[in-house]
Amino acid sequence: MALILTRKPVMTDRKDYFPGLNIYRAIAVLLMMLAHSARVQTSTPLIMAHPEHAGWLDWPFLSALYIEPIISALFLFIAGFSLVLSRTRSRESKSGWLIRLGKRMFTLYAISVIFFIADQGFQIPDLFLSSGVLAIIAVGILSAGVILVTPHPWIGLLSLSVAVESAALYLEQQNLSIVGLNAGAGGMVPLVLFAYSGALSGMLWQSLSWKGLWLLLGLSLPVAIWALASDLPWVTHPVSQIHYYPGNRLSSVWYSLQDAFGLYHGPDRTGSVRYWNHAAVFVCRALPLLVAGLMVALHFKASSRHPLLKMLNRPLDWMGRNALNLYILHLVLLAMVEVSTLKPAQGWQTLLLLAVILSMSAWALRHISFVPLRRIKKRAPQEEAL
């Protein structure tokens, strides 16, 4: 008779597995959730204008809003680094790996478009060219993936990075606002550059290990000091045009859909709005910080004996492994709060809301996945016959 043994999950001993990377990713998504939750809090505009009125539980959310440009850059940087690890670990052919990546990034791009419609309606061409950070991640990671499977990925990524930074500088110097580049709700330039710098960091790590990251940190740090010494702004505010329709958000979205097909004949107006976008100098200032954070994350090896890792590993590792799906789901849940009458008014209420969102996400993500889009079936414990 065969002896049946149930496999228990164990921490992997693979040399290319870095639990600290999941913690780094979890910190990024948690900070982003803090920033987005702050926008739902009804008192945020007041305490942003008058910080002296902020309670001590308001400050985690306000702080996340202040550093939001760094958080979004961190998200793309980690995604680019992880992309290189994914390509190395994959046993698929180059075309197979790229096709799978393309399907996932197309799904992510489509979700970004849906979110934009729910928030602002059918604003053409912003809907397709500048829908938000999820679309930037999709474009950045897919384009980096295409370059990674070419014969000369170093040249490709460096050339594209220089082109993006040059475009950002030119647009700022000429005071130009172009939807799909630097204007709109999801300005692509220069934020997408962090996906490429993350991928380059991953290639340096694989080629030279710690020496590669120390080299990158050493080269980027003097540039960052020079950039910090300048009085150039961290962010810019390009002008974007947006159509306004009467009524509440739902009716406005409906009217915008009718207008997209030439079926709307009611009143509307076109106005200007300024979304913040990363300045070209932001890349120089932030890169050493992101690289240093990455080096700290990679320091944590695949060992449960580390006291800090033992304390933080389970919740943060889960958040890191599910970072993209958690990011998408928390936006869905916050949107429900936004259209309801149950918006938090104080920091402790927003903190409670965030705790509820995390609890609901922990349950929901056991059953669904957004990227890739699928329903997760409950699996029986793996068994092995000896």
Dihedral of alpha carbons 133, 135, 138, 142, sign: negative
374 phi, psi to nearest 5 deg: -165, 160
Maximum average pLDDT range among 111-125, 132-146, 174-188, 295-309: 132-146
pLDDT at 372: 84
Distances (CA, A) of 177 to 71, 129, 164: 23, 13, 15
Q: pLDDT tens for residues 282-319?
A: 999 999 999 999 999 998 765 556 676 667 678 888 99
The predicted model gives 117-146 an average pLDDT of: 93
Determine which of 130-134, 197-201, 304-308, 341-345 has the lowest per-residue pLDDT on average.
304-308
The predicted model gives 181-186 an average pLDDT of: 89
- Whether the per-residue pLDDT at 140 is higher than 90: the answer is yes
Q: pLDDT tens for residues 143-162?
A: 999 999 999 999 999 999 99
Work out the end-to-end distance of the chain between its first and last CA atoms, rounded to an integer number of angstroms. Answer: 9
What are the start-end ranges of the E strands in the chain?
4-6, 235-236, 239-244, 269-274, 277-278, 368-369, 374-375, 383-385
Q: pLDDT tens for residues 205-246?
A: 999 999 999 999 999 999 999 999 999 999 999 999 888 888
Round the average pLDDT of the chain to a whole number and report it: 89
pLDDT at 132: 92
Residue in the block written with tokens 């009085």: 231
Compute CA 245 distance to the chain's CA centroid, rounded to the nearest angstrom: 30
Distances (CA, A) of 279 to 189, 227, 228, 286: 9, 11, 13, 11
pLDDT at 341: 79
- Of 103, 117, 344, nearest to 252 (Cα)? 117
pLDDT at 145: 97
